[in-house]
Amino acid sequence: MNIRRVFASWRHGTRQLPFAVQFKKFQNILERNNRVLELMADMGDKLGGEYVFDRHYIEQITERLGAQVFQLISDLSVLSQRKNVDLFQAFEHIRHQLEQELAGHPPVSGYDYVLPLEAIGAEQAEQAGSKVAHLGEARARLSLTVPDGFVVTTRAFFDFMNQEGLLQRAADAMEAWDGSDETLRELAADMRRRILSAPLPRGLAKKIQIRTDRLLKGRPNGTQLAVRSSAWHEDGESSFAGQYASILGIGRDGVLDAYREVVASAYSATAWRYRVLRGFREHEVAMAVGVQILLDGEVSGVLHTYAPHVAEGVMALGMVRGQCAAVVDGSAPVQTLTLDRVPPHAVLAAPPEDALLAPAQLRELAEAAMALERYAKRPQDIEWTFDRQGRLVILQARPLRFWAAPDTAEPDVVEATRDAEIIFSGHGHIAQRGLAAGPVRVVRTDKDLDTFPDGTILVARHTSPRYSRVMRKARGIITDIGSPTGHMATIAREFRVPALVGAEVATRLLRDGDEITLDCSQGVVYRGRIRALDRFELTEAEVFEDTYEYRLLRRLLAHIAPLNLIDPSSESFAPHACRTYHDITRYIHENAIRELIALSERHGDQHHSTPKRLITTIPLGLVVIDGGDGATCLPDARAVRVEDIACPLFKDFVIGIDCGMWRTDPVPVNLGSFMSSLTRTFSSALAAPDQIGRNLAVVLPNYMNLNMRLGYHFNIINAYVCDEINDNYIYFRFMGGVTEFIRRSRRAKFLAEILERFDFRVEIHGDLVVGRVKKLDTARMARRMRMLGALVGYARQLDARMHSEDDVRHHVQTFLHATRELCGGEHDHGIDDPSAPAAHPCSR
Amino acid sequence: MTTESTTLPPRLRILVLDDEPIVCKRLKPIFQKSGYEVETFNSSAKALERLKDHAFDIVVTDLKMEGADGMQVLDKALESSPRTRVIIITGFATLETAKESFRKGAFDFVAKPFKLGDIIDCVRRIETELRAAPTDQG
């Protein structure tokens, strides 16, 4: 891709392109913008696990996305006849980061020596090591309490080890190793000596000290710290249990020495031998080091969420009074218990008289443990403690692996599923893969969420992001209606809750309390708990969410999908603030509209007419550009009346926005505030149309393109009608908003329901609602334009009013009722009635 | 002597070949769970070696690979066992390659990324067909 080529044909003062050509460019931008959003949604969907994808897919889609975004900037450059160097720079920066990610070198930015636990999730596993990354996830996703702390990253490790060539030395030594224990011991002793005496890289010691002081601030004197290994692959396929050092009970001044000590433990003879046996290469060694507050535990212990060697369907618990170390190293007598894996997690043998934990504590622990297992999709080996305040703190959680199939007389997975009753299969889409076995809980209202029991499977009519409240408790989710690209699907993926959406028949076939097994890799719901399936999933060789490809996709998306540029009136709405591809597309879209107005201004008298302010009873702040025969007023007029517009589509739209809304006055919607917010947004700009740059309509006799920003939402309507019915279409797009996720999504749902009533094919991707309707005759298209006018106005003031899910229903009804006459009563029956008069209350 | 009704048909054997380990990792458990015996390979040389001395009912193979590509694997698989059904999976799907695979006798041609459900459906269709067809092995 050559930026110069794009500008090669440009010289200052070159002849301007005809408006039609520029307008085409503008349309290209809109189309490309959609393609970018679709590619982004496609990548997001792949995280759900329904698809098999490979590295080639990841590379290819990243490249395609990059090419589209680059082209988008080029299109804007043609349109604006500016070089947009800063945009290209922002683009190159993002692309470089993506390339680095793809090449396996996470970008240097955000790849610090030291990271606080709050900044760590699974995406940071390369920097923070797996152990600390797991704790970060448990804290962030599952709201579990973990010890406060920070991590000295693998970047620090590499710089530390490379400074005196120690990594190379280790690699060379292993290359030359003769295989004898004695040589290995000598090598290990030499490495250890060198590591303990090596200087820390510039700035590292200071950073660790500052973080340590911050960690200890406000805590009692004598608070002790734990310094723990968090290496690559530790807790992965190989457990490395006990191979690397953890140093407990040190004070502020001991941290740096402890750091070196933990790093050196990566090169102990036993660790080295372990790696050789398991086939690890030297370049796969990287040691991050966690520094945590050492908790004063009242009762501590270890829990295995799955213990088939004890009994099928149980978890095993070992605990001591005091700190956890005694359980792990076996230095104190341990009290053991067996709990049912199934809620309410009953104690399976008579508890000892001197039980260390109360029943409520046991249950809290068991629920937290199962939440960790559900999230990791793998049985867990958990170190935990109840501190002096009675808080449950998770010290460590790592996958529990079974090298041999558990010895069991139970049927295997194939026999078990063959004999099981299938309640339904072949319905719906998988939003998040996985397996869930448990009782059904049907959710109908918000109240049902308040009492949602832990470990049950949520069954509901519709998907809803308000279910995020119970994501930690839900074992699985099944809905009759919903899309795998909707908000709830995104949340289910974040929490990794197996979710089947759009299953149509779920609420009809499932009742509260039914015991079922939901298999979200095949899309089957079985009657009863199928333990063999559960066991099969728990002992699977590798969990999809742990694969490199999954993590890579998630890391790439972090440079692509988040939207940081929200408010176009803010100063940070600028190229230099574009941190993701989404930001760039948003910026370009906003500016393309601004450009088109400016362009039309410049062309002015020479080619076509001047941009014109539309005169309406409602001050819409709408600028109209006549693309050719679209208006009957004088070409240089600065204002135009609705009746002078020669585009029936646009006229219908304005009728909708104007009359429809005023007519809804009696319904409990505060139109005053709606209109005042409209006026407020644009009043200052009304005097100078070229500075509005937001609300723009391009009209031709049978075409209109509308770009409208109301508050923080963006609306695009693109429509074409002619006598050839097959060419007719309306494209509607609604995006954005700064209210909280749930309200935005309620509004999206409202829009979707209305649009669907009017035969639009609707897609919801996150913030974006897209509706398309095609091939209807002119009269029906006209009624839909009127409806859209009313809808755009109505939706503007809705975000703040969507207090509950019931409001969606209510507003759908209110809107349909209020626009009944305006839209010719079509939606009453869900079908067109050609005989119905297309009358609206205020035809002029 | 056992009767038809109590004898279960033998599990179909599937060979999966893809040079990207992730594809094998994802397909193996889903096929196993669905009742098939699965072997996976990341190198076509090793897979071809295995195909020489062992007949599989179904071969699922990637197209573009180092060494022998999917078309060669298709040829070899059918050559050593005409009963074998071959599914080609590829991230470089074009009309030409699809046509060529069908011409050479592939059962199906699936573009990556694909849904787990779709590949299972495909395998089930083969299973129905194989079970209905008379076999010379009895």
Residue A413 contacts B, CB cutoff 8 Å: yes
pLDDT in tens, B94-117: 899 999 999 999 999 999 999 998
- Chain A residues touching B110 at Cβ < 8 A: none
Give mean pLDDT, residues B114-127.
93
Q: What span, in angstroms and rounded, lies between the C-alpha atoms of A803 and B21?
A: 48
Are A788 and A661 contacting, i.e. CB atoms less than 8 angstroms apart?
Answer: no
User: Which residues does A760 contact at the CB level (< 8 Å), separation at least 6?
Assistant: A730, A732, A771, A772, A773, A784
Cα atoms in the Cβ-side hemisphere of radius 13 Å centred on A480: 13
User: What is the β-pairing status of strands A422-425 and A435-442?
Assistant: unpaired
Using the beta-carbon criterion (under 8 Å), do A522 and B112 form an inter-chain contact? no
Tell me how crowded residue A48 is: count the other CB atoms within 10 A of its CB. 25
- Chain B residues touching A57 at Cβ < 8 A: 91, 112-113
Using the beta-carbon criterion (under 8 Å), do B33 and A521 form an inter-chain contact? yes
pLDDT for the residue numbered A688: 34
Which residue matches tokens 């990059």?
A: A66
Residue B51 exposed, middle or buried by CB count within 10 Å (0-12, 13-18, 19+): buried
Are A486 and A770 contacting, i.e. CB atoms less than 8 angstroms apart?
Answer: no
Tell me how crowded residue A190 is: count the other CB atoms within 10 A of its CB. 14
Give mean pLDDT, residues B30-42.
93
Running along chain A, 844 residues long, what does each successive block of 10 average in pLDDT?
43 58 82 88 88 95 97 92 92 94 65 88 82 90 93 93 91 88 92 94 92 94 92 65 82 94 92 77 84 91 85 86 71 82 86 84 94 87 91 90 53 80 90 91 89 93 82 91 77 87 92 94 90 80 80 88 78 91 90 75 57 79 82 80 90 81 36 34 31 69 83 79 81 72 77 88 77 86 92 76 78 85 61 35 32
A749 to each of A488, A764, A802, how far by Cα in Å?
Answer: 12, 9, 11
pTM over 0.80: no
- Amino acid letter, B28: K
Are A262 and A246 contacting, i.e. CB atoms less than 8 angstroms apart?
Answer: yes
What letter does residue A213 receive in the DSSP assignment?
H
- Amino acid letter, A423: I
Cα atoms in the Cβ-side hemisphere of radius 13 Å centred on A429: 15
Are A104 and A59 contacting, i.e. CB atoms less than 8 angstroms apart?
Answer: no
Length of chain B: 138
A687 to each of A622, A638, A690, B100, how far by Cα in Å?
Answer: 12, 10, 9, 65
Of the partner residues A50, A55, A57, the one whose CB lies closest to the CB of residue B115: A50
Q: What span, in angstroms and rounded, lies between the C-alpha atoms of B42 and B23?
A: 9
User: What is the β-pairing status of strands A457-462 and A729-736?
Assistant: unpaired
Considering only residues 507 to 546 of chain A, which have any Cβ-Cβ distance to chain B shorter than 8 Å? 521-523, 533, 536, 540-542, 544
Instruction: Give the A:B interface size as CB pairs under 8 Å.
Output: 74
Using the beta-carbon criterion (under 8 Å), do A522 and B113 form an inter-chain contact? no
Q: What span, in angstroms and rounded, lies between the C-alpha atoms of B113 and B91?
A: 7
Considering only residues 425 to 464 of chain A, which have any Cβ-Cβ distance to chain B shorter than 8 Å? 430, 433
Of the partner residues B25, B115, B116, the one whose CB lies closest to the CB of residue A547: B25
> Which tokens go with A279?
């086939």
The complex's ipTM? 0.91
Q: When comparing pLDDT for B21 and A538, which is higher? A: B21
- Amino acid letter, B94: T
User: Which residues does A537 contact at the CB level (< 8 Å), separation at least 6?
Assistant: A377, A434, A435
Which residue matches tokens 């935005």?
A: A744
- Chain B residues touching A63 at Cβ < 8 A: none
Share of chain B above pLDDT 70, in %: 91
Are B52 and B68 contacting, i.e. CB atoms less than 8 angstroms apart?
Answer: no
What letter does residue A275 receive in the DSSP assignment?
H
Considering only residues 1 to 30 of chain B, which have any Cβ-Cβ distance to chain A shorter than 8 Å? 11, 18, 20, 22-23, 25-30
pLDDT for the residue numbered A279: 67
A647 to each of A612, A644, A654, A673, B125, how far by Cα in Å?
Answer: 14, 9, 11, 30, 54
pLDDT for the residue numbered A825: 62
- Chain-centre distance of CA A499, in angstroms? 15
Tell me how crowded residue A68 is: count the other CB atoms within 10 A of its CB. 18
Q: What span, in angstroms and rounded, lies between the C-alpha atoms of A811 and A799?
A: 11
Nearest chain B residue (CA) to A51: B115
Tell me how crowded residue A85 is: count the other CB atoms within 10 A of its CB. 11
pLDDT for the residue numbered A659: 63
User: Which residues does A783 contact at the CB level (< 8 Å), separation at least 6?
Assistant: A652, A822, A823, A824, A826, A838
3-class SS at B47? helix
Q: Strand ranges (DSSP E) for A426-530?
A: 429-432, 435-442, 457-462, 476-481, 499-501, 515-519, 524-527
Residue A84 zone, left/alpha/beta (φ > 0; ψ -120 to 50; rest): left
Residue B91 contacts A, CB cutoff 8 Å: yes
